[in-house]
Amino acid sequence: MTDQPDFHALSDDELRETRDFMTTAIASMSNRIDDLTTVADKQIKVSTEARIAAFAARDQTDPKAFGQLVGEVIDGEIDENLGRMARMATDLLRVSNKTQEVLKKAEEDKSAALRDLWDREQKVDRLKSRLPWFGLGAFVLALAMSVLLPRFLASNTTTCAFLGATWTVTTSGVDACVFYVE
């Protein structure tokens, strides 16, 4: 004999019921274990994040590292600003030189234009001083032409006919260009 008590054999319905009960119990335990695993994962995640934050806080509160970081940032900003200022100064110098060249050229052009204007004014003044003499010459030429031109035109048979006159010989035997009035 054994120390175990004798159990009577269970019927099929009782076995099925026991099996269903055990299956439900195992499923319930499995769900609880899954819930505990989820809670444990969350706790692990939170503790990992807390460790990372603690290490970051430790690194950020390190005076030497913080001072070095501040120095690098300041140096970077100052270097960038100094570089920009140097580029601006170079650009301003280049623009200033270009402006000086343009102003010098404009001054030269202005001087040349003023010289040309002065030369033209001098020519106009000389022409004005000679204008009375030109007028007198034109008057003398017009007077001479009014006297001499008809005599010249009438001294030739072709021009006499062109003027509408008739070429004839006078009683004294001189050829003349005569205009007859009808």
pLDDT in tens, 112-126: 999 999 999 999 988
Q: Give residue 5's pLDDT.
A: 67
Contact of 148 with 154, CB cutoff 8 Å: no
Contact of 60 with 66, CB cutoff 8 Å: yes
Q: What is the pTM of this model?
A: 0.34
What stretches in the chain show pLDDT beneath 50? none
Q: Give residue 134's pLDDT.
A: 86
